[in-house]
Chains A and B, each alone.
Chain A
Amino acid sequence: MSHQPYETWIVDPPPLNSEQMHSLEAHLEGCAECRGLRERWAHVRVALERPDMAAPRPGFARRWQAGLAERRLREQRRQAWKFFLACSSAAAALFVFLVAYLAVSTTPVEWVQAGVKAISSSAGYLTTLRDVSSTWAQVVPPVLNLAFWFSMAVTVCLLVFVWVFALWRTSLGGTIQR
């Protein structure tokens, strides 16, 4: 026996006209299954139409605020890690690309030649730098010399400070509380 549309009329009754009402009643007289459904649904419907709202434990908003600071910290750490991984991946990809490019475009002999050349030219640069420094120290007055080295030291300290601050901001301690 087909129970449609009677099942629908029982659990979600649309406005039924008299003909439909008669049809439903006639079906119910002969169908114990639909009669049972109607009876059971009547009980469930009463419960559903008077539902109570469950409430959280007191202090939900306070717990939210406490959790917010923690979540932000976690989010910031995740962002820092993402940034670090992205930079590392990009550097690794670039390195692999360069190695592959060099392996294809040059020979190992050329690599050795380039290495030796780089080492010898570095030695030459260092010698030149030493000569320039000693000449500078002899020509320039000591006060000016001291001022130059002092400003160099301050600049290096500032750069180190900026670097450490940037690391701190993007890692554990850098969470800014609004």
Chain B
Amino acid sequence: MSNLEADWLPKAIQGDQDAFTNIVETYQRPVFNLCYRMLGEALEAEDAAQETFWRAYQNLRRYDPARPFATWLLSIAAHYCIDQQRKRRFNTISMDLLPDEEVPDHAPTPEKVFNQLDEKGQLQKLLARLGPQDRAAIILRYWYEFSEEEIARTLSLTVSAVKSRLFRARKELAQSWEVQAAQNLPEGRKHESPAL
């Protein structure tokens, strides 16, 4: 058990606001990152992260100490972001808000692709193509290294549902990469098969 769960959490449950502020300081980054990856916008992510901590603060007495606190907190964030996505009524973020892509130099190696994806917000674009729950599953799997069981608990799904969502999401990501790669190609090469 970490210091947080041993020291601050019981105090926070007793109503100690400073103890809860320590919890906020500790978890601000993972919670914000989840919200940002889910919503794709820093301002919205900030609001969502603040809302997550407020909900956690309100429901702290319902927290089950048998469960890791981080999982519980990220579960609140994930559910909130999924609800927000559903309220938007569409699953992709506005492409206008993301930075423009640049034409890559030559055939991209995975290393180059990683740099391009990460630095230019392309990874975010790929994620934006996924449905809210698929996106949440991918984020929890790769950013937080959650197991399928942990993802299932966090998203209130069955393990088999998580497996099928992860499979679908990975396939969708690979196909989306194809689309983006085609968009990045020079005009004359856009209609060539990526397998060639």
Q: Are B123 and A47 in contact (CB under 8 A)?
A: yes
Choose among B37, B163, B178 the residue with the greatest number of A CB atoms under 10 Å from its CB: B178
B54 (CB) vs chain A CBs: closest residue: A71
Separation in Å of the A13 CB from the closest CB of chain B? 11
Contact of B178 among A36, A45, A61, A178 (CB under 8 A): A36
Interface of A is mostly: helix
Choose among B29, B122, B166 the residue with the greatest number of A CB atoms under 10 Å from its CB: B29
Query: Bound complex: CA of A13 vs CA of B162, how far in Å?
Result: 16
B30 (CB) vs chain A CBs: closest residue: A53
Separation in Å of the B190 CB from the closest CB of chain A? 16
Partner-A contacts on B (CB < 8 A)? 15, 17, 21, 24-25, 28-30, 32-33, 36-37, 42, 45-46, 49-50, 53-54, 57, 108, 110-111, 113-114, 117-118, 122-123, 126, 138, 142-143, 163, 166-167, 170-171, 173-175, 177-178, 181, 193-195
**Chain A to chain B: the 4 pairs with minimum beta-carbon distance, closest first:** A36-B195, A46-B110, A11-B170, A40-B174
Q: Are B17 and A178 in contact (CB under 8 A)?
A: yes
A68 contacts B by Cβ under 8 Å: yes
Q: Are B194 and A40 in contact (CB under 8 A)?
A: yes
Q: Are B29 and A44 in contact (CB under 8 A)?
A: no
Q: Are B36 and A61 in contact (CB under 8 A)?
A: no
Question: Which residues of A17-70 have CB atoms within 8 Å of chain B's CB atoms?
Answer: 32-33, 35-37, 39-57, 60-61, 63-65, 67-68
Can you offer 28 A-B residue contacts whose CB atoms are under 8 A? A7-B167, A11-B167, A11-B170, A32-B195, A37-B171, A40-B174, A42-B110, A44-B173, A47-B113, A47-B114, A47-B122, A47-B123, A48-B123, A50-B114, A51-B118, A51-B123, A52-B118, A53-B143, A54-B33, A54-B37, A54-B42, A55-B28, A56-B49, A61-B25, A64-B28, A65-B17, A68-B54, A71-B54
Contact of A64 among B21, B113, B171, B194 (CB under 8 A): B21
Q: How many residues on chain A are close to B (CB under 8 Å)?
A: 37
A131 contacts B by Cβ under 8 Å: no
Query: Bound complex: CA of A37 vs CA of B30, how far in Å?
Result: 31
Contacts of B15 in A (CB 8 A): 178
Choose among B54, B174, B193 the residue with the greatest number of A CB atoms under 10 Å from its CB: B174
Query: Bound complex: CA of A71 vs CA of B54, how far in Å?
Result: 8
Q: Are A46 and B118 in contact (CB under 8 A)?
A: no
A110 contacts B by Cβ under 8 Å: no
Q: Are A53 and B29 in contact (CB under 8 A)?
A: yes
Contact of A44 among B17, B24, B174 (CB under 8 A): B174
Contact A68:B17 (CB < 8 A) given known A32-B195, A43-B177, A46-B113: yes
Q: Are B166 and A57 in contact (CB under 8 A)?
A: no
Contacts of B142 in A (CB 8 A): 48-49, 51
Contacts of A8 in B (CB 8 A): 167
Q: Are A64 and B110 in contact (CB under 8 A)?
A: no
Separation in Å of the A35 CB from the closest CB of chain B? 6
